[in-house]
Structure 1
């Protein structure tokens, strides 16, 4: 069995060019990981993250990927295989972080079938079949970290469809942990609370009233920032957490306790 203890780990992060994915990529690099990050359309933005990681002494590669388009997953896996061979002279990577996503705010009553299908493709079908496609490239003894949301535990109007997808991801993580345990692959879910990013139009960051409401409902007295989540991702993928699997870890500062 290959383990991740005798070489530099390689972490693949979807949606790693911006927001929480970018922060997680940088934190993992600081922790000693090399990084493969994906972006949907902004190659220049992704390359900036690569350059920042390289400036810190680690190696990184940025690859295009639309997680809502499962027909492209095989070609993406071939790109990952090529990148591993050319940049690292390796056949496997160690950590997969299924982070890429979008936010759609709509009441249950007003949610359209097109919105629902978009969320399914990006947040549920995408991670399911992308992980399946990449399994041959994930090292035995590796890790998978799926990203959920605090909204799968507590309910706020306007997020019914989004939260349903995240609930599905949490169930999927437990099944993956059960079925992939024979390969020594640990699978967990990280569930961020409300974070100040450009996600969902930047509402938590830019809407003072919403930010104040979040802070008032959070034990730590403020809304989250990207560093809160990137640091947690790096911690969960650190060698000391190798025995943790099948768990949901909410990183919300104690929101709605």
Structure 2
């Protein structure tokens, strides 16, 4: 049995990914920050289905805690799975952050950088010695990088997700000698609680999004989780250095 680390596994895409990976027979270490109950719910569902999962708290915006987190991972691998390495990493944890360029403050910008890019960069670096050769990494980017909204409003957020895409491509090159595959997924509009439940607050905008989507609906976390699980599995064994948009064809040809 392999073990996958999924950051931000207490809700949304991360939770769906943890459930999907566990359903395929893998062990899961999932992280959470403020949503401890969501993490417990994810673990309870996995265990009820016969799988094994362990929740660990992680503040992706505080890199000073990464060494202690890596030590926790090492201890958990040994105690629960009698292993000294894990096989896959899903860098999913993050935050929303829509604001127009002229309105973005330095504080907002720095928070986005710290969580979305710097945290992902240095957490991956810290965990790399524990990642098995021949393993895989999937970084969760955003379709805001691959499809630019005419109304704007995502300059800082998308710039950080764009940095994740570039990081993905360079990691694919540098980690190839260890046969570690590195890819990014760029989800389109997906029904989660991100950005303080934006889809619930602005439900009237959902039909407009659906009109712009070839497959005619909003994405669900399960849609994204299935692609992530594929990229981590042997089905994705010949894919590395790629950015896969999973948006149902949002604004395709528009």
Give the secondary structure class of the aligned counterpart of 1:61.
strand
How far is the alpha carbon of 1:206 from its aligned partner? 4.6
Residue 184 of structure 1: aligned partner: 179
Give the Cα–Cα distance (whole angstroms) in 2 for the partners of residues 213 and 9 of structure 1: 41
Residue 107 of structure 1: aligned partner: 100
Structure 1: state its 5+ residue gaps. Answer: 1-7
Residue 52 of structure 1: aligned partner: 45
Structure 2: state its 5+ residue gaps. Answer: none
Deviations 1:42-77 (A, max 9, x none): 323211211111111111100000011111100100
Give the Cα–Cα distance (whole angstroms) in 1 for the partners of residues 184 and 42 of structure 2: 24
Residue 84 of structure 1: aligned partner: 77
Deviations 1:5-30 (A, max 9, x none): xxx11110000011110011001111
Q: Does 1:209 align with 2:217?
A: no
Residue 69 of structure 1: aligned partner: 62
Structural mapping, 1:121-140, within 5 Å = 121-140=114-133
Give the Cα–Cα distance (whole angstroms) in 2 for the partners of residues 203 and 210 of structure 1: 10
Structural mapping, 1:98-247, within 5 Å = 98-156=91-149, 157-247=152-242
Give the Cα–Cα distance (whole angstroms) in 2 for the partners of residues 121 and 85 of structure 1: 30
Deviations 1:111-147 (A, max 9, x none): 0000000000111001100000000000000000001
Give the Cα–Cα distance (whole angstroms) in 2 for the partners of residues 21 and 168 of structure 1: 20
Output the aligned Cα RMSD.
1.0
| TM-score normalised by L of structure 2 | 0.96
How far is the alpha carbon of 1:153 from its aligned partner? 1.4
Number of residue-to-residue matches in the alignment: 250
Give the secondary structure class of the aligned counterpart of 2:34.
coil
Give the Cα–Cα distance (whole angstroms) in 1 for the partners of residues 140 and 189 of structure 2: 13
> Which range moves more in the overlay, 11-20 or 40-49?
40-49
Does the CA-based 8 Å contact 2:146-2:245 persist in structure 1? Answer: no
Give the Cα–Cα distance (whole angstroms) in 2 for the partners of residues 205 and 196 of structure 1: 9
Does the CA-based 8 Å contact 1:16-1:22 persist in structure 2? Answer: yes
Does the CA-based 8 Å contact 1:203-1:210 persist in structure 2? Answer: no
| TM-score normalised by L of structure 1 | 0.95
Does the CA-based 8 Å contact 2:99-2:153 persist in structure 1? Answer: yes
Deviations 1:141-171 (A, max 9, x none): 0000001000001223211100000000000
How far is the alpha carbon of 1:237 from its aligned partner? 1.3
Does the CA-based 8 Å contact 2:43-2:55 persist in structure 1? Answer: yes
Does the CA-based 8 Å contact 1:188-1:245 persist in structure 2? Answer: yes
Give the Cα–Cα distance (whole angstroms) in 1 for the partners of residues 40 and 189 of structure 2: 27
Give the secondary structure class of the aligned counterpart of 1:62.
strand
